[in-house]
Amino acid sequence: MDTFLQEIPKAELHIHIEGSLEPEMMFTLAKRNGIELPYKSVQEVRDAYNFQNLQSFLDLYYAGMGVLQTQQDFYDLTWAYLQTAAAENVQHTEIFFDPQAHTSRGIEFEIVHAGIYQALQDAQEEFGISSYLILCFLRHLSAESAMATLEQALPYKDTIVAVGLDSSEMGNPPSKFKRVFDRAREAGFYTVAHAGEEGPPDYIWEAIKLLGVSRIDHGVRCIEDSQLVKYLIEQQIPLTVCPLSNIKLCVFDSMEKHNIKQLLHMGLCVTVNSDDPSYFGGYIAENLQQIQAALGLSQQDIYQMMKNSFQATFLSPEEKQAKITELDDFMAKAFVS
């Protein structure tokens, strides 16, 4: 099973590139940029990754990314993620980045974007991984700040497929950003939003009805609203579920209690993703291994989630079909051996 999980063709739809900053790279970049870290060793950093909720993670996440200063830093960060993704047979990835977390500390949008985007292009060449970029607005900041960030992104429209919404969910409902998302859709961006991670099912409804999202990021609290579950199934609105994240941030007490299998078997378009792999203890294959071990998922279950993830991408129908055909070929061979 482990080899199957490692080798099955994958798409990743919920990965914050800043959340793939490994402690080793944090030290390398701190040294390169003459920054003093409040930790003495890599182990000390890892030991600090004990979270009670989303906010306790976000505090360390924003502090950690302070080492990212130059275009080369953003390139190295993204390249390291893509190397791991290639090793786990990720065929396509849609990467979040948080420009406000960088512009607010004096790093220009252009620097952030250029470093990340160059690595994505190189990975297409070197590993054959296709990718899209998704710009996330920080929802703890104002709608005005999000609007200004959207304006900054317009010259880069051709290289950014969608806008999203992340950071502190409670008290920052999707409705706060309706105007920004209206403007983004007018400008031709797809939209997604984190909703129903810590926040209530109403936030998922708002993301769908007010922000016009194509996917819900997390969404696991949909289970508390049967009308919503029915709607998500009927409309096949994808959920980008992040199991290890949900355990580390105490959304569920243990992996055995995670509702991903239940949601999948109810017919929701469930996908598996790593969120912030460096902070939560693993990349996409590790997420698959842990849910499989804890919940006893079959190869058919895993196949269904991988197929869902290709369906849920922003690729064209033809490109999706080509990726699903590759997945089907892999399955035909996997069942023979």
Residues 275-304 that bind Zn ion (CB under 5 A): 275
21, 29, 54, 315: residue in contact with ligand HPA (rule CB under 6 A): 54
- State yes or no: 16 annotated in a binding site: yes
Does position 19 bind ligand HPA by CB under 6 A?
yes
**Smallest gap from residue 321 Cβ to ligand HPA (A):** 30
**Smallest gap from residue 86 Cβ to ligand HPA (A):** 22
Positions of E strands within the chain: 10-16, 90-97, 130-138, 162-166, 190-195, 215-218, 239-241, 270-272
Is the CB of 141 or the CB of 322 nearer to Zn ion?
Answer: 141
Is the CB of 275 or the CB of 301 nearer to Zn ion?
Answer: 275
Region from 31-39, 66-74, 75-83, 274-282 binding Zn ion, contact rule CB under 5 A: 274-282
Is the CB of 22 or the CB of 275 nearer to ligand HPA?
Answer: 275
Residues 239-258 that bind ligand HPA (CB under 6 A): 245
- State yes or no: 194 annotated in a binding site: yes
**Burial (CB count within 10 angstroms: exposed 0-12, middle 13-18, buried 19+), residue 158:** exposed
Mark residue 188 as left, alpha or beta (left: phi above 0; alpha: psi -120 to 50; beta: remaining). Answer: left
Structure token pair of residue 65: 């990314």
Q: Is residue 319 flagged as an active site residue?
A: no
Q: Which of 18, 169, 197, 206 is catalytic?
A: 197
Task: Kindly calculate the radius of gyration of the chain based on its CA atoms and give it in whole angstroms.
Answer: 19
Which residues lie closer than 8 Å to 317 by C-beta, 6 or more apart? none
Half-sphere exposure of 299 (CA within 13 A, CB side): 16
Q: What is the DSSP string of 135-148?
A: EEEETTS-HHHHHH
Which residue's Cβ has the minimum distance to ligand HPA? Answer: 166
Residues 135-194 that bind ligand HPA (CB under 6 A): 166-167, 194
CA angle centred on 56, ends 229 and 174, rounded to 5°: 40
Cα–Cα distances in angstroms (integers) from residue 173 to residues 15, 151, 260, in the given order: 21, 22, 24
**Smallest gap from residue 14 Cβ to ligand HPA (A):** 8
DSSP 313: S
Residues marked as catalytic: 197
Per CB under 5 A, residues contacting Zn ion are: 275
Per CB under 6 A, residues contacting ligand HPA are: 16, 19, 54, 61, 166-167, 194, 197, 245, 275-276
Residue stretches of the annotated binding site: 14, 16, 194, 275-276
Residue stretches of the annotated binding site for Zn(2+): 14, 16, 194, 275
Residue stretches of the annotated binding site for substrate: 276
